[in-house]
């Protein structure tokens, strides 16, 4: 295999492990992954095929994967096919659209009074409380431009993605939109 193919395959393995939420270290991991791929893509990739792709059976048994396997793995991580994954790998900054696979919080599922801690780079921490109808109020703010008692609307919080606060009322100023974690995204924790 060419060095570029090895790099892309390594990147695909890493992305699959992130989406699966575990490293592929043993037979149970490959069994789990095989079932998750089937559940998500409706394509069956056997445990032994996955073990060969990961080199779990040793370098001598490691074979060049079939396109079907690469396509199924790429679909599992949110791409249409392996070609789409490969294009994203070669030019990561050029991709303007992609599937979001990170955990998210749908604010419509919250109860009034539920609290969420938002964290973003470098050391911002904001605790917000759900007021209902998509409205939040800032309860605590550490190292952030947001202030206690600011209010805003938000429909969804996606882990690791920028967070847009709509109609932010900041210190009784007119409503404005605000973005948290524009570069590195926002982490959240329900408390």
Per-residue pLDDT tens digits for 101-151: 778 899 889 999 999 999 998 899 999 999 999 999 999 999 999 999 999
Q: 114 by DSSP, 3-state: which? A: coil
Separation of alpha carbons 117 and 65, rounded Å:
43
- The pLDDT assigned to 96 comes to 58
Residue 182 is inside which H or E element, if any? none
* Distance between CA atoms of residues 103 and 149, nearest Å: 27
Distance CA 13, CA 130 (A): 38
* Domain coordinates in residue numbering, the chain: 3-93, 105-190
Gap between the Cα atoms of 168 and 29, Å rounded = 45
CA distance 151 to 128: 9
State the pLDDT at residue 98: 63
- Asked if the model's pLDDT at residue 93 lies above 70, the reply is no
Determine the pLDDT at residue 6: 66
**Contact (CB, 8 A) for 115 and 190:** yes
């Amino acid at each position: 295999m060419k060095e570029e193919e090895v790099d892309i395959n390594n990147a695909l393995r890493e992305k699959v492990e992130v989406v699966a939420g575990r490293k592929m270290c043993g037979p149970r991991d490959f069994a789990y992954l095989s079932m998750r791929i089937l559940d998500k893509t409706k394509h069956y990739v056997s445990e032994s095929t996955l073990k060969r792709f990961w080199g779990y059976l040793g370098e001598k048994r490691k074979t060049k994967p079939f396109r079907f396997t690469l396509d199924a793995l790429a679909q599992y991580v949110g791409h249409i096919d392996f070609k789409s994954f490969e294009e994203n790998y070669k030019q990561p900054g050029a991709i303007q659209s992609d599937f979001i696979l990170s955990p998210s919080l749908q604010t419509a599922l919250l109860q009034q009074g539920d609290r969420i801690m938002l964290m973003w780079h470098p050391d911002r921490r904001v605790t917000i409380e759900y007021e209902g109808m998509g409205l939040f109020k800032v309860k605590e703010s550490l190292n952030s431009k947001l202030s206690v008692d600011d209010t805003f609307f938000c429909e969804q919080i996606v882990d690791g993605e920028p967070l847009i606060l709509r109609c932010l009322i900041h210190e009784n100023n007119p409503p404005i939109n605000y973005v948290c974690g524009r570069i590195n995204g926002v982490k959240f924790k329900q408390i």
